[in-house]
Chains A and B, each alone.
Chain A
Amino acid sequence: MDNKGLTKVDLIFESVDVRKVMTKAFEMTSEEIIQEILESGLKGRGGAGFPTGLKWKYTAAEKDPEKYIVCNADEGEPGTFKDREILDKVASKVYAGMAIAGKAMGARKGYIYLRGEYRFLLPQLFVELHKFHKMINEIGYDFSIEYRMGSGAYICGEESALFESIEGFRGEPRNKPPYPTVSGLFSKPTSINNVETLVTAVMIIEKGPQEYVKLGTKDSRGSKVFSISGDTPIPGIFELELGMTVQEFVNEFGDGDTKAVQVGGASGFCVPRKKFAETIIGFEGVPTGGSMKLFNSSRSMYNVLHNYLDFFTEESCGQCTPCRVGCQQLLKGVEKVKKGEAKSTYLNELVKLADTMKVASKCGLGQSVGNAFRSIVENFREEIIY
């Protein structure tokens, strides 16, 4: 097992001379930037983990002269709050990341889609943005960024729903293909990256990919910012090297009575105590966009599950059948089982339904409802029934 143990890292929040990094990147060719990101093995930090270099490469390959780089700052996954911190502390690195991505793929325009609840950050973000635009002007490079605000819908963090929202339509996911790299925002080739991904890219350009790959594992290169909450004496934001086991994580952050860790928020997986030692946090095990919730033995996993299902029932866009109706059925189903109005074997039907949602839903939201459902029902079945 490629186990690295738990190591704290300081890359994301480290202060760097963004002008220097940008100048360096602007002197590189598009291919060189993309090559460095590919070599770093960086995967999207929003949770889905698509290789960032590939995304930029595909967008760069499109012939359309008009392209966009979009920063997904609609941080909505229950239990994640790291993008807020990044924007709060190192917004200039986010902007620099967008400019570098823009250079790599040939985009002159960037949009940041900011979670509606983060509106309070805007005044200081605008101050930073003004400085950034001035700096980029001085460097003599043509690139600009605009903010667009979300309005509280979780689904608008889904890339194509996010585009719809920016374009002024109802935030509903689109059919794919075409993928954003071919037809994204305003039907133009678009690369959409998470806040943290863009900052990580800045650090890769600054330090070089050879330095970066020293961190992490083969499948999960580098480090990651974690939002740690729940039953922990030290909740907060921690940047950790990827590759640790849940056990190592719990040893550091647990309260000594951890019975489960929900990795990746409502759309992620619930890891029970018996699997702590064998489960790696990363793409070879349980991936996460950063949300880590610890539950101790005082918590009812039925309540946890109910809460997640309630969330999805509310936050599904309602467009496709498996997600809209499936969420309601899962929620109502576990309620019935809990009350004893349905047989415990009804849970098996619900697991099958969750599997259908995973393969038949239109977007990542519906496809991932089954993650939490299956992992909680399978590992804490008795808590759901009794």
Chain B
Amino acid sequence: MVTLKINDQEVKVAEGTTVLEAAKQLGVNIPTLCNHPDLCVAGNCRVCVVEQKGARTLIAACAMPVSEGMDIHTNSLKVRNARKHIVELLLSEHRADCTKCYKNQKCELQTLANEYSFGEHIFLDLVEDHAYNIDRSSPSFLKDDSKCIRCQRCVRTCAQLQHVSAIAVANKGAHMKISSFHDRPMSHVVCTNCGQCVNRCPTGALTEKTYIDQVWDAIYDPDKHVVVQTAPAVRVALGEDLGYDPGERVTGKMVTALRQLGFDSVLDTDFTADLTIIEEGTELLTRLKKVLVEKDKNTALPMFTSCSPGWIKFIEHKYPHMLPNLSTCKSPQQMFGALAKTFYAQKRNIDPAKIVSVSIMPCTAKKYEADRPEMRSSGYKDIDFVLTTRELAVMIKQAGIDFRTLEPARYDSIMGSSTGAAVIFGATGGVMEAALRTAYELVTGKPVPFTNLNITPVRGMEGVKEATVKIEGTTEEWRFLEGAELKVAIAHGLVNANKVAKAVSTGKASYHFIEIMACPGGCIGGGGQPIPTNVEIRKKRMEAIYSEDMHMDLRKSHENPEVVAIYKEFLEKPNGHKSHELLHTHYIERESY
């Protein structure tokens, strides 16, 4: 333990603690910008400078480990003057058109400006000295360098959490900027559109491409029938943007709010999550049979999940030779989209051309996914607009809805019923757990041998998880699997996905089934989720997801009555002809720039 003084108060902390963390323990707030709990220390914005007695210079609290006898002052005149200068310097190279900015009142630089910079600016405006362009090429987000304060949170996110490095630092001095390979537009580099950078950007330099106005237009268009679907992870995070603490489940209130916003039908992505389990589970068992029984050399194992569009683009860029290993199942969002303008349109007797399909997602990559040219199986654009959790919160505020006082309601039907298995899609390991709950029962006729169906080995925040499930007591049809040990792996965050993909690619790992989610924690930590998102908050959202599962009457996808019904009425059988037409897709090899 190390003893030091901060603002004349003594504090004892563990060795290796930073001055910033030590101050936090005393309740002393030191402002930061480049610092983010998910990322390695940068120490480059210098906003957190504090005075250390005896030191020649000020020190960056985020980067300085404590040492015995340190005497720190966080608010001396020297510190305040330096901090004011630093904030003013950042403002001088930042296009501060706050009232036009999507991040207005959610901007960390603006908050600091409130505290340190009012009245006349000291320094000269440097924005006009640079020829800034807004990169609008990605369907998921905008990159506006004129708002960038070069804190490199995005760069560290892309490299450290995602192993993508689509963005990196280019040039030096006054020309230093965050750029891509050869300054290519973001749509033409390895960017997966995961939005983790967007979630961590302290200013309006990286923001999701918003479709709020288009959705309002559709809602108010009397000719349009607007359906909305909500992803599993939205219901455990939306509350954060509407005044609740992290971890609050607001499913029922969200449904009511969506109805009040004017959506014609409030439906659930969970329905197609359950459907995904049937399709993907069947695909896995078929692949296993082909490999194990028919000795088919053309069938690829292990099979990777395909729900996460960021992961899809990652593998398309980095491991294109493993595309046959990807499940051909579309993501739940896109299954929903294809069915909304076919099955739903038929059942409700609505002209699919008049249906506008909106989805609320914890994700920015979903915006990109909806734009993929393959995603038009209905004959129309299957999903018209994708909004993030954050955008939905904005709409709810725009509509003047007092969210806290709303009465909870249930989803509409059809395509609104779901099970606990679908809800847990939102957390890392959830798809795996849901798939095992169904596949095991399909093969053995018995529920998975875990207390309360909770397959705990696949849960949790560890980057790569592995589990083995022994299959015993198979029915006649699945006798070839008797005694087999199904080896599965789960990875979340593309840095971990890369580890698993590399191990599979080099033959160092032998799994049958692998779940991959592009974002840390799975969708609960998605790029479209409320800001801030960090390890503590992800844990709370994850607890909420599993609690939501426990509160469901049905907890196995194959028991979802609407899923049972859609096979009877429309799809005929899993992996059948119609399924392939509407619910399955193919992938594209992409260059790696």
Contacts and interface: CB of A to CB of B under 8 A. Distances in A.
B104 interface: no
A356 B81 contact: yes
Interface in B145-169: 149-150, 152, 168-169
A360 B78 CA distance: 10
Interface stretch (B85-93, B416-424, B527-535): B85-93
B566 interface: no
Given A329-B123, A333-B124, A367-B57, A321 B44 contact: yes
Contacts of B168: 170
Contacts of B47: 321
Interface string B92-104: 1100000000000
Interface stretch (A58-66, A88-96, A285-293, A311-319): A311-319
A42 interface: no
B247 interface: no
A327 B175 CA distance: 12
Contacts of A336: 124
Interface in A257-310: none
Interface stretch (B58-66, B288-296, B583-591): B58-66
Contacts of B172: 153, 155, 314-318
Given A175-B63, A332-B124, A332-B126, A356 B86 contact: yes
Given A324-B176, A329-B89, A170 B169 contact: yes
Contacts of A358: 57
Contacts of B92: 325, 329
A175 B60 contact: yes
B171 interface: yes
A343 B46 CA distance: 29
Interface string A167-181: 000101001010000
Interface in A166-203: 170, 172, 175, 177
Interface string B211-245: 00000000000000000000000000000000000
A367 B55 CA distance: 14
Contact of B174 (A320, A327, A359): A327
Nearest to B125: A332
A367 B60 CA distance: 14
Contacts of A325: 89-90, 92-93, 123, 126
B89 A326 contact: yes
Given A177-B65, A356-B85, A318 B46 contact: no
A322 interface: yes
B176 A349 contact: no
A67 to B, nearest CB: 22
B49 interface: yes
A362 B173 contact: no
A361 interface: yes
B41 interface: yes
Contacts of B89: 321-322, 325-326, 329, 353
Interface string A76-120: 000000000000000000000000000000000000000000000
A20 interface: no
B394 interface: no
A336 B129 CA distance: 14
B310 interface: no
A352 interface: yes
B455 interface: no
Nearest to A315: B173
B43 interface: yes
Contacts of B395: none
A316 B173 contact: yes
B173 A356 contact: no
Contact of A361 (B46, B63, B152): B46
A325 B123 CA distance: 10
Contacts of B173: 312-318, 324, 327
Given A177-B65, A328-B126, A319 B150 contact: yes
Contact of B45 (A318, A321, A326): A321
A321 B90 contact: yes
B122 interface: yes
Contact of B85 (A324, A352, A367): A352
Nearest to B169: A170
A322 B86 contact: yes
B82 interface: yes
A358 to B, nearest CB: 7
B137 to A, nearest CB: 24
A327 B92 CA distance: 12
Contacts of A324: 150, 173-174, 176
A312 B173 CA distance: 7
Contacts of B171: 318
B80 to A, nearest CB: 11
Contact of B122 (A153, A170, A312, A349): A349
Nearest to A353: B85
A314 B85 contact: no
A321 B176 contact: no
Interface string A196-236: 00000000000000000000000000000000000000000
Contacts of A367: 57
A322 B129 CA distance: 18
A312 B122 CA distance: 21
Contacts of B175: 318
Nearest to A328: B174
Contacts of A175: 41, 43, 60, 63-64
Interface in A349-377: 349, 352-353, 356, 358-362, 367
Contacts of A333: 123-124
B82 A359 contact: yes
Contacts of A170: 168-169
A328 B129 CA distance: 10
A315 B49 CA distance: 23
Nearest to A358: B57
Contacts of A313: 173-174
Given A314-B174, A315-B173, A327-B173, A321 B46 contact: yes
A362 B49 contact: no
Contacts of A359: 49, 56-58, 78, 82
A327 B126 CA distance: 12
Instruction: Name the residue in A319, A358, A360 with the highest tally of chain B Cβ atoms < 10 Å from its Cβ.
Output: A360
A349 B64 CA distance: 29
Contacts of A177: 64-65
A232 B220 CA distance: 80
B180 to A, nearest CB: 15
Contacts of A317: 172-173, 176
Contacts of B85: 322, 326, 352-353, 356, 360
Contacts of B122: 349, 353
B174 A362 contact: no
A329 B169 contact: no
Nearest to B56: A359
A243 to B, nearest CB: 24
Contacts of A312: 173
B360 to A, nearest CB: 37
A324 B44 CA distance: 10
Nearest to B33: A321
Contact of A360 (B82, B93, B149): B82
Instruction: Name the residue in A320, A327, A358, A361 with the highest tally of chain B Cβ atoms < 10 Å from its Cβ.
Output: A320
Contact of A329 (B57, B81, B126, B149): B126
Instruction: Name the residue in B45, B92, B124, B152 with the highest tally of chain A Cβ atoms < 10 Å from its Cβ.
Output: B124
Contacts of B174: 313-314, 316, 318, 324, 327-328
Instruction: Name the residue in A320, A325, A327, A358 with the highest tally of chain B Cβ atoms < 10 Å from its Cβ.
Output: A325
12 contacts: A177-B65, A314-B172, A314-B173, A316-B173, A320-B46, A321-B46, A328-B174, A349-B122, A352-B81, A356-B82, A359-B49, A359-B82
The 10 closest A-B pairs by CB, nearest first: A318-B176, A325-B89, A175-B63, A356-B85, A175-B43, A316-B173, A360-B82, A359-B57, A319-B44, A314-B173
Given A319-B44, A325-B89, A356-B82, 8 more contacts: A172-B169, A175-B60, A321-B86, A321-B150, A324-B173, A325-B93, A352-B85, A359-B57
